Amino acid sequence: MANAKRASATGVCIDPERALAEMRAFGEQLAAGAAVFKEMRSVPVAPTPKERVYRTDKAVLYRFRPPARRRIPVPLLIVYALANRHYVTDLQADRSTIRGLLGAGVDVYLIDWGYPDAADRSLTLDDYINGYIDACVNWIREQHGVEGVNLLGICQGGTFSLCYGALHPDKVRNLVTMVTPVDFHTPDDLLGRWLREVDVDLLVDTFGNIPGQLLNATFLKLRPLRVGGRQHLELLAGLADTARARLFARMERWIHDSPDQAGEAFRQFAKDFYQRNALVRGEVVLGGRRVDLGCIEMPLLNVYATEDHLVPPEASLALGRHVASGDYATMAFRGGHIGIYVSARAMRDVPPAIGAWLRERSQSKSGKGKRASGQRKRARKDPSLKSATATRSTKTPHRSRKKTKG
C-alpha cells in the first residue's frame, strides 16, 4: 500500500517485477557485450591492400591494389581533410568507399597527411596545396603518362581540391567533391558561426599546432546528444552482436584519432575561409596567386549529404554559382557527414555512381566542359547518377621537401 501511495503521489507507476526483469536483461546485455569486447582486443582498420609509392615530408602517397579490370584509364587521387584520418573511407571490408571505387574499375591513389608535429608548425595552405598535392599529382601524371588526373576531395580536402583545380586546371581531368564546404557563411553552419567568434591568432600563438583533441571535442559538441548519448544507447541494444560491436569500435577509434593541425595552415583556413568567407569572394591567395573558382572548367560532380551538420547542404551547393564548368552535376545522399562514407546505403549507392560518372568522362580526350561565353552558370542534376535519396606564404618559400619513391 505504501508503495502504491508513493507512486500515486509522484505520478509515476512502477511495476516492480517488470523493473527487475529489465534490470536483469540489461545486466545480461552488459555481460555479453563485455565478453565480445574482451574477445576483440583490437580492431584493425583499412583492410584494402595498398602500397606506399611516394613520400614528401610526412605526406605519403598510397596506391591501392589496382582492380583486375581497370575500366577507367585515368587514375583517381583522393585528397582527405587534415582533421581525423583518411581510413574512414576504408573502415572495414563491407564499409569501404575505397573498395567500392575499386569495384567500379577506378585506379585509386590517396594522400595520407600523417601526424604534424612541432617541425610542421609553419606549414601553410600553400605548402599543402601547391606543394604536397601538386607533387603527388605530378608523380601520378608521370607514372601513368597522362596530362591530368581525376581528383576526389573529401570535406576540407574537397576545398583544397577546388583551390588546386582553380590554380592548376590543366592537371585535373575531372573533379569530384564530397561533403565539401564552399560557402562558409550559410545560416545553418554551426561550426562556421562558432569559428567566427574565435580569436584564431591568439589560439595559434598560444598552442603553435592546434591540438587535435581540442578540435575533436568541438566537433563532438556540435551534436552532443547524437554523438555522446544516442549512439551509445543504440549500441547497448545490440552489444552481443559481434559485427555491430566491431563496427562501433572502429568508428570510436576513428573519431578519437585526431592529428594536430599545423598552426599556420589552421590560421589561414580559419581566418580566410571560415571568418572572411574568402573562397566565394575570390579573395583567397596561395603562392601569390588568387584562387578564382571561375577557372574551374573541367567536369565537376558535387556530392553532398542532406543531413550534414558539419557541412550543411547549402554550404556545398553554393559551388554551382561560382564555377565555370559546363558539365556540373550534383548528387544528394540522404544521410549525414560520416554516414556518406560508412553506411550500408552509401556503400550501395555512392561509389558506383562516382565510378559511372568518371567512366563516362574519362574515355575521350576532351576533359573540359567550358561554358560558352556569357552562358548562365547553373547547377544541374546529372540524370545518369543514382541519387542516394532517389598559401604559398609570400613571406617564406616552400620548405625543402624530402621526396622518396616507394
Question: Among all residues, which ones are annotated catalytic?
Answer: 155
Quote the CA–CA distance of 289 and 164 in Å, as a whole number: 11
Q: Which amino acid is at 294?
A: G
Specify the DSSP class assigned to residue 154.
Answer: E
304 φ, ψ (degrees, to nearest 5): -130, 160
Asked if 76 contacts 328 with a C-beta cutoff of 8 angstroms, the reply is: no
Instruction: Give long-range contacts, CB 8 A cutoff, 24+ apart: 53-56.
Output: 53/109, 53/139, 53/143, 53/405, 53/406, 54/135, 54/136, 54/139, 54/403, 54/404, 54/405, 54/406, 55/402, 55/403, 55/404, 55/405, 56/131, 56/132, 56/135, 56/136, 56/401, 56/402, 56/403, 56/404
CA 17 to each of CA 4, 20, 26, 28, 170: distance values in angstroms, whole numbers, following the listed order: 14, 5, 14, 17, 73
d(CA 344, CA 303): 17
Residue (of 139, 143, 90, 136) closest to 113 by Cα position: 136
Decide: 293 and 322 in contact? Cβ < 8 Å: yes
CB atoms within 10 A of CB 306: 15
